Amino acid sequence: MTTSISESSAPVGDLPTVRLKPKANARAIRHGFPWVYANELVTDRRTRSKPAGTLAVLEDDGRVPLGLVALNPDSKIICRMLDRDPQATIDVAWFETRLRKALHLRERVFDAPYYRLVHAEADGLPGVVIDRFGDICVVQPNAAWAETLLHELTDALVAVTGVSHVLKNASGRTRSLEGLDDASAVLHGSAPEGPITVPMNDAVYMADLTGGQKTGLYLDQRANHAFAASLARDARVLDVFSHVGGFSLAALAAGAQSALAVDGSAAALALAEEGAKASGCEGRFQTRQGDAFEVLTVLAEEGARFDLVICDPPAFAPSKPSVDAGLRAYERVARLAATLVAENGTLGLCSCSHAADLSAFRAACARGIGRSGRRGSLIYTGFAGPDHPQLPQLAESGYLKSIFFQL
Q: Is 182 exposed, middle or buried (0-12, 13-18, 19+ CB in 10 A)?
A: exposed
Q: Establish how many alpha carbons lie within 13 A of residue 96's alpha carbon, considering only the half-sphere containing its beta carbon.
A: 9
Torsions phi, psi for 87 (to 5 deg): -100, 10
Quote the DSSP letter at residue 12.
Answer: S
Q: Each residue of 14-52: b (16+ CB within 10 Å) or e?
A: ebbbbbbbeebebeebeeebbbbeeebbbbeeebeebeb
CA torsion angle 125 128 132 137 (round to 10): -110
Quote the DSSP letter at residue 386.
Answer: T
Distance (Å, whole) CA 374 – CA 22 = 53
Name the residue type at position 240. V
Closest C-alpha among 47, 156, 149 to residue 92: 156
Q: Which of 137, 281, 311, 352 is catalytic?
A: 352
Does 352 qualify as catalytic in the annotation? yes
Name the residue type at position 277. K
Q: Catalytic positions, please?
A: 352
